[in-house]
Amino acid sequence: MDCSPPGSSTRQNGFARLKKSFSRDVKTAKYSVLNFLPMNLFEQFQRLANAYFLFLLLLQLIPQISSLAWYTTVVPLMVVLSITAVKDAIDDVVNGLNFRHNSDVQKYN
């Protein structure tokens, strides 16, 4: 027989969910696996040079005004975006590892 007051299990489950949502863990990563590509592309196209090359790529898709093939703009843009994305991913992982290492050193010293 359950001697707990009515609704106490619901209240305890609510507190457990609340405790999980208000964790004191520090998140230092800028990206997650799910949002890396959209956030990184958004940040890269904030740069004027990348936005300019995207604009040129869109113009290259119009055959009446294009003097070159579309891939002459796509290839350099993709190379620059890929290199920058890899650099950002490495920086994000290294910064997260450095933070964890530094916090462990502070915690155990």
- The larger pLDDT score, comparing residue 21 to residue 96, is at 96
- Which pLDDT value is given to residue 100? 53
Give pLDDT tens digits for 51-62: 999 998 999 888
Residue 61 has what DSSP assignment? T
- Which pLDDT value is given to residue 36? 87
The residue-averaged pLDDT of 4-33 equals: 59
- Which pLDDT value is given to residue 67? 84
Quickly count: other Cβ atoms within 10 Å of residue 73's Cβ. Answer: 20
- Give the global pTM: 0.60
Q: CA nearest 33: which of 93, 95, 99, 98?
A: 93
